Structure formats: C-alpha cells, structure tokens
Amino acid sequence: PMLAAERTLADGETNMSKAEIDKELEALENGCHNGYKRKAEILEKRHKSDLMAVEAKRKERLRHVNIMYEAELKAAKDDLQYQKESLFLEMQNMLKEKKRKILLEDKGLQAMPNMRTRKRTRPSMMKPKETTARGMRFTLSMDEIKRDIALMKKPFQAHGRDTVAPSKKRRTTRTSTRRRSRR
C-alpha cells in the first residue's frame, strides 16, 4: 500500500497530517518504509549489475595484460636466443680464422683476402699467374694487371672515322655560311 508521503509526492499534494508524516518518518528511520525498501532494492540491483560489468572489464583487461606479458616474454626469449646464436657464429668464425692463419704460418704461406671470408691464401714468393690464350703462354706482372683493371673500369668512349674534331667542324660551317651570304 502506498503511504501518504508517497501519494503526496506522486500527486503533488501537500495534504498530509503531522501524524502521517511522523509515522512515515519513524518507519523510514526503522528501515521498514515500503517505498524506501522498493527503491533501495532497485538501486541494489543496479549496483550488482554495475559491479558485474566492472568485474567483466577487469577480467578482460587482465586477460589482455597477460597476453601482452606472454608475448613480451616470448620476444625477449627469442631475442636472447638470436643474440646467443649470433655470438656463437661470430666466435666460431673468429676461432676458425685464427686456426687458419696458424695453419698457413706453419706452411709458410701468408693470409690474403679471399671471396668467402675476405682472406686469401697465397705463397709469399708467388709469381704472377701464367695465362694461356690460343696455345700461347705469357705472364702478366701485377702492374699490367692493375692497369688492365683500371682500363676496364673507365667508361666506354666510342672512337670512329665519322667523329670530327670540333675545330674542323666550325671552320666548315663558317665557310659554307659565308659563301651563301656572298651570293
């Protein structure tokens, strides 16, 4: 049943007696007021619903944080593994190169750059290599080889019969122009 104060609030009337107001105020203070109980119950349901939504958000965020944490752990582990492998290969190559140099020194050879490790082995007293061309054997000196390489690196310039020196071309053009104007 609706109490007088609720009817007054709903209807906008102010026709409540002092005794009715005192009775409702006492019921409100004792926690027995029906209107208060209903509205408090609605507020409690809303609050529980809000708490469930907040809890669901918290769980989802924690799940995302855990996923990110696991991904960062995996990335750090992969990075460590890569760095270890790189260090291993670097040290392995360094030790192999040192071993190779020692073996060469034992054989009386000196280390020179090669294509794979940029180191080439060559006897210290090695003569320039002989080259065969159509049955003829000849030896190139290091200076000749360097000169040939320098020539190969220069840009190509065509030389032919039809190229005329610029000074000769100008004379020809001037004479032909002068002759035309005299006529």
How many angstroms separate the CA atoms of 124 and 143, rounded?
Answer: 18
For 32-41, the pLDDT digits (tens) are: 888 888 999 9
Mean pLDDT, rounded, for 124-148: 63
What 8-state DSSP symbol labels residue 118?
A: S
Q: 């080259």: which residue's tokens?
A: 131
User: Given this model, what pLDDT does residue 162 score?
Assistant: 54
For the four alpha carbons of 62, 64, 66 and 68, in that order, the dihedral sign comes to negative
Phi, psi of 124 (to 5 degrees): -65, -30
Tokens encoding 70: 């696991």
Neighbour-count burial for 131-167, b at 16+ CB within 10 Å, e otherwise: eeeeeeeeeeeeeeeeeeeeeeeeeeeeeeeeeeeee
Q: How far apart are CA 2 and CA 10, in angstroms?
A: 10
How far is residue 32 from each of residues 35, 42, 148, measured CA to CA in Å? 9, 16, 112
| Residue scoring higher pLDDT (92 or 31) | 92
Quote the percentage of the chain above a pLDDT of 90.
34
Q: What is the pLDDT of residues 20-32, one digit of tens each?
A: 888 888 888 888 8
